[in-house]
């Protein structure tokens, strides 16, 4: 047998051994044994029709984000008055503080003030909506076909209502909590949170407040079959991507459009944008994404489990596949989205200066300096790039802690078939301002949305399923009972 044959046989044996090793790894990856908890009390008795009516009333108050702090905020004051009428036990027990006219802090003192309080965040504001194309008026709060329709019914008055309903229930049925509770409701999350959440967080920090853990909007529940998990899955955001706007500027001699000099100002800018789209930043599996795989993999069907169990070996292939789908692509890299461009103010004029905005969502593990360096190298010396707005990626909150386990325990008590895992929240939330008050910042929305309904957020026919309200409220009740009550 010649040397080539020995090499081929050696390679074949090595490949066979590697495949056997990968199959064995897959076979050994099994779900952990569930520990029985016979002490779990029954779920609270909640009236679905009352919850739906309350969310309907909340949606009917058009708390559209204010463009300026000097804008008329009467709808926010109307919303505050509605909260006071609807939740008397909360307002009787809580110390209420108003920040910058419209943001709210409710503090319910615990009987043991040596314990750090829990904090639940929501925001009162919603994005604008016009009636065209809606099946029901966007600010009518109409209940039909088992849904509450209207702007904010998903983002995020449903979560706000679920939170206050839970606190109201606890105060009426459970008495004073041992651990205190804070509710913090900003009023401008949809317009970059300039006057709400950062001022709330600063106010609390000045008074030495720190939290056991905090829950804000974020990851949702979904059908796990899309990931090969035959269960409902819950995505708990332990961090969020950073945000940046990068301004590209091209300068050339202007003139009349009848005799253009090439390359034109806009032509250079268009080439720069195309180059950015063709040359994305590198992909990587960062810590929260690895934790996502770790926690879901044991429950996956065999073929999915094979790839997850051997992701260290198959990482290049997996990352390449992830880039083919916009949602999963955003989990493995910093993304660039051209969103705005300017040129001349007349159709027959060549602009002397053209600009474009690139909206960037910065992967946890990257930073704005690296992003700017990549973009400037990509567009070349004829285009200038500058950061006009930036928030760096958030720290990653821990998952091997009593606080995270308390959250997942509450989930399992409400949805017994549910599998939870941490992940990187790809959007922005008010939670990013609260890291000075606790390292345990989690982003989770306790509603199960089909893919078709997820597309309704900030869009036409936003709606919340009536039957989803009771378990959502029960989740927050469980969080409070498990962490705050005797």
* Mode of pairing for the β-strands spanning 214-223 and 118-123: parallel
Q: Tell the residue number behind the tokens 């020995």, with chain if given.
A: 6
Strands (E) located in 257-364? 335-342, 349-350, 353-362
Rounded Cα–Cα distance for residues 136 and 73 (Å): 25
Phi, psi of 452 (to 5 degrees): -65, -35
Helix (H, G, I), strand (E, B) or coil at 369: helix
Local structure of residue 352 (DSSP, 8 states):
S
Reading the block at residue 399, the tokens are 């998952």
Tokens of 78: 């109307």
* C-alpha 464: how far from chain center: 18
Q: Tell me the two tokens of residue 413.
A: 């008590």
Active site residues: 125, 189
Rounded CA separation 101/69 (Å): 9
Strand order in the sheet with 143-144: 143-144, 147-149, 463-465
Separate counts of helices (H) and strands (E) for the chain? 15, 17
Distance (Å, whole) CA 15 – CA 94:
66
CA distances from 236 to 16, 118, 380 (A): 38, 17, 40
How many Cβ atoms from other residues are within 10 Å of residue 476's Cβ?
A: 24
CA distance 169 to 180: 15
CB 179 within 8 A of CB 110: yes
* C-alpha dist (Å) from residue 18 to 13, 109, 306, 312, 389: 9, 59, 13, 13, 48
Cα distance between residue 210 and residue 288, in whole Å: 24
Closest-CA residue to 204 (of 433, 483, 484): 433
Q: Which two three-digit tokens encode residue 351?
A: 């602009």
- Rounded Cα–Cα distance for residues 74 and 344 (Å): 40
CA distances from 14 to 10, 319, 459 (A): 6, 24, 54
How far apart are the C-alpha atoms of 264 and 14, rounded to whole Å?
A: 57
């Amino acid at each position: 047998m010649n040397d080539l044959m020995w090499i081929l046989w050696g390679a074949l044996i090595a490949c066979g051994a590697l495949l056997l090793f990968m199959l064995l790894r897959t076979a050994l990856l099994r779900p952990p044994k569930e520990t029985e908890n016979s002490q779990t009390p029954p779920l609270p008795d909640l009236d679905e029709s009352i919850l739906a009516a309350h969310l309907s009333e909340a949606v009917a108050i058009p708390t559209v984000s204010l463009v300026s702090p000097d804008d008329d905020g009467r709808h926010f004051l109307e919303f505050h008055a509605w909260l006071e009428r609807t939740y008397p036990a909360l307002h009787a027990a809580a110390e209420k503080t108003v920040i910058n006219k419209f943001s709210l802090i409710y503090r319910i003192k615990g009987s043991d003030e040596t314990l750090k309080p829990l904090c639940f965040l929501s925001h009162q504001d919603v994005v604008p909506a016009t009636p065209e194309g809606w099946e029901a008026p966007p600010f009518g709060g109409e209940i039909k076909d088992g849904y509450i329709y209207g702007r904010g019914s998903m983002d995020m008055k449903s979560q706000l209502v679920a939170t206050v309903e839970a606190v109201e229930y606890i105060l009426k049925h459970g008495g004073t909590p041992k651990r205190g509770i804070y509710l913090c409701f900003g009023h401008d999350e949809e317009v970059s949170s300039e006057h709400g959440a950062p001022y709330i967080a600063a106010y609390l920090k000045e008074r030495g407040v720190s939290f056991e853990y905090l829950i804000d909007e974020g990851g949702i529940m979904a059908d796990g079959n899309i990931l090969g998990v035959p269960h409902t899955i819950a995505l708990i955001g332990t961090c969020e991507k950073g945000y940046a706007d990068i301004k590209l500027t091209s300068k050339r001699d202007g003139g009349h459009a009848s005799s253009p000099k090439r390359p034109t100002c806009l032509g250079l800018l268009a080439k720069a944008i195309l180059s950015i789209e063709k040359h994305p930043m590198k992909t990587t599996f960062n810590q929260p994404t690895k934790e996502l795989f770790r926690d879901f993999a044991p429950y996956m069907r065999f073929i999915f489990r094979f790839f997850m169990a051997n992701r260290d070996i198959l990482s290049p292939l997996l990352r390449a596949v992830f880039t083919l789908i916009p949602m999963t692509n955003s989990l493995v890299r910093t993304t660039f989205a051209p969103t705005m461009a300017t040129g001349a103010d007349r159709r027959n004029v060549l602009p002397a200066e053209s600009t474009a905005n690139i909206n960037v969502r910065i992967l946890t593990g990257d930073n704005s300096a690296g992003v700017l360096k990549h973009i400037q190298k990509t567009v070349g010396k004829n285009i200038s790039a500058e950061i006009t707005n930036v928030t760096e990626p958030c720290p990653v909150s821990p998952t091997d802690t009593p606080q995270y386990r308390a959250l997942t325990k509450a989930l399992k008590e409400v949805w017994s078939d549910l599998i939870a895992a941490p992940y990187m929240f790809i959007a922005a939330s008010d939670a990013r301002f609260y890291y000075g008050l606790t390292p345990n910042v989690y982003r989770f929305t306790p509603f199960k949305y089909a893919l078709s309904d997820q597309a309704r957020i900030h869009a036409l026919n936003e709606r919340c399923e009536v039957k989803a309200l009771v378990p959502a409220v029960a989740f927050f009740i469980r969080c409070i009972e498990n962490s705050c009550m005797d």
